[in-house]
């Protein structure tokens, strides 16, 4: 699945041009390796951002900094995701940011991402994957939910996913059978997130919730971690209609490393991730696509334990969207590592992406759209 209108350097060949003499064939065969080398140079220059990772302030970021990563959208480490736990998790992060010599830098606007790269610290964009942290809905009586949103914003939260796997007072998730869309509170939350300059994440939202939010929002929205339903028919993936609507309003689409929602093949590889990136680029354009691993910042990955846990979850929820089949794998193991973004850059180069395109996908696109939303 070669990217359309993306291969700008070194691989401008049509099918007929590949039917060539021996020297040209040799040159064509060596081009992917040359492009991978160029991609590595692009990676070193880039602002490298994982658009959804999960870890807390106790994690040592030194290995990911050494691997060239600049920043990540970090989901608050807590469960269940409620107001009390979110407040405590944000306080832990703010204590870490205030600590003398902390290797972390709190990202509130795009300039902070630049500062993180320049100072060799790791930029943290604080996020939560469930607007249930705003509390039980009281929208028909008062604005307490919006006051809670304002308080979280003041503590540094910059990305909020409207729903996780379960429906909440804001809207329906991708797993619900009703696909009911945004609630009245949900509309108020989106409008006020726009006012506060917070990024609306729609990764786990149902199709109607997603499309209604994109239509309502005055700022670009994000799908920080998902896949393309055209390549694998699962409710956890996004339709082309959703990806296209997101892109029309300048939004961001991040492909994740959850292989169970990328391919049905027995052995997932980095090429399956790039297939979904290719498709998203074809639908949305090169300016709107990135990568959000949906894994730990500094992974210590046990594939057997991960698969056992995920199979138990899918058996419990079997038949609902996202749990259509019992998985044979959970992630692409070569991307469950601190150097995942560098490996992805190399794979994009081998696929034929230009240096400029690689820089955009590994973080430049997210940085630009984050600036449009958050300043």
pLDDT over 50 (residue 205): yes
Q: What is the pLDDT of residue 118?
A: 98
pTM: 0.92
Cα separation, 330 vs 310, whole angstroms: 7
Tokens of 238: 């996004």
Q: Mind listing the pLDDT tens digit for each residue in 89-124?
A: 999 999 999 999 999 999 999 999 999 999 999 999
Looking at residue 189, what is its pLDDT? 98
- Give dist(CA 300, CA 305) in Å, integer: 11
Q: Model confidence over 320-361: pLDDT tens digits? A: 999 999 999 999 999 999 999 999 999 999 999 999 999 999
The CA distance from 130 to 165, in Å, is: 9
Q: How confident is the model at residue 11 (pLDDT cuts 50, 70, 90)?
A: very low
The topology (CATH level 3) of 15-46+158-374 is: TIM Barrel (3.20.20)
Cβ–Cβ < 8 Å for 268, 332? yes
Whether 313 contacts 320, CB under 8 Å: no
pLDDT at 43 over 90: yes
- Tens-place pLDDT, residues 270-280: 999 999 999 99
> Residue 8: pLDDT above 50?
no
Is pLDDT above 70 for 46?
A: yes
Euclidean distance between CA atoms 175 and 115, whole angstroms: 39
Report the SS3 class of residue 124: strand
The Cα–Cα gap between 215 and 221 comes to: 10
- Asked if residue 267 has pLDDT above 80, the reply is yes
Cα–Cα separations (whole angstroms), residue 82 to 41, 132, 175, 257: 43, 6, 20, 26
Mean pLDDT of 182-195: 98
pLDDT of residue 37: 77
Are 273 and 335 within 8 A, CB to CB?
A: yes
CA distance 298 to 260: 21
* Spatial separation of the C-alpha atoms in residues 285 and 274, rounded to whole Å: 15
Give pLDDT, residue 283: 98
pLDDT beyond 60 at 14: no
Q: Where are the domains of the chain?
A: 15-46+158-374
Contact 219, 373 (CB under 8 A): yes
């Amino acid at each position: 699945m070669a990217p359309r209108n993306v291969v700008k350097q070194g691989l401008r060949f049509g099918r007929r041009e590949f039917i060539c003499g021996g020297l040209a064939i040799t040159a064509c065969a060596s081009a992917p390796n040359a492009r991978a080398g160029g991609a590595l140079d692009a990676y070193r220059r880039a602002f490298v951002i994982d658009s959804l990772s999960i870890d807390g302030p106790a994690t040592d970021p030194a290995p990911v900094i050494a691997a060239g990563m600049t920043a990540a959208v970090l989901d608050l480490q807590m469960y269940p995701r409620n107001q009390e736990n979110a407040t405590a998790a944000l306080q832990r992060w703010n204590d870490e940011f205030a600590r003398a010599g902390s290797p972390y830098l709190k990202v509130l606007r795009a300039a902070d991402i630049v500062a993180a790269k320049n100072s060799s610290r790791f930029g943290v964009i604080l996020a939560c994957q469930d607007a249930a942290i705003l509390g039980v809905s009281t929208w028909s009586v008062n604005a307490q939910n919006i006051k809670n949103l304002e308080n979280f914003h003041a503590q540094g939260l910059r990305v909020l996913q409207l729903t996780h796997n379960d429906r909440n007072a804001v809207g329906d998730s991708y797993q619900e059978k009703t696909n009911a869309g945004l609630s009245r509170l949900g509309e108020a939350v989106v409008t006020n997130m726009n006012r506060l300059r917070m990024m609306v994440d729609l990764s786990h939202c149902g199709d109607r919730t997603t499309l209604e939010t994109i239509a309502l929002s005055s700022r670009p929205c994000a799908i920080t971690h998902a896949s393309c339903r055209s390549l694998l028919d699962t409710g956890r993936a996004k339709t082309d209609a959703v990806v296209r609507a997101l892109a029309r309003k300048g939004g961001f689409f991040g492909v994740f490393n959850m292989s169970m929602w990328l391919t049905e093949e027995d052995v997932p590889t980095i090429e399956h991730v790039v297939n979904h990136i290719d498709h998203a680029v074809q639908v949305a354009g090169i300016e709107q696509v990135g990568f959000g691993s949906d894994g730990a910042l500094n992974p210590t990955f046990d594939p057997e334990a991960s698969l056992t846990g995920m199979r138990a979850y899918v058996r419990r929820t079997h038949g609902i969207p996202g749990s259509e089949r019992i998985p044979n794998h959970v992630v692409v193991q070569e991307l469950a590592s601190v150097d995942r973004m560098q490996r992805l850059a190399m794979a994009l180069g081998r696929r034929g992406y230009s240096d400029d395109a690689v820089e955009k996908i590994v973080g430049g696109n997210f940085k630009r759209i984050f600036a449009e939303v958050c300043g």
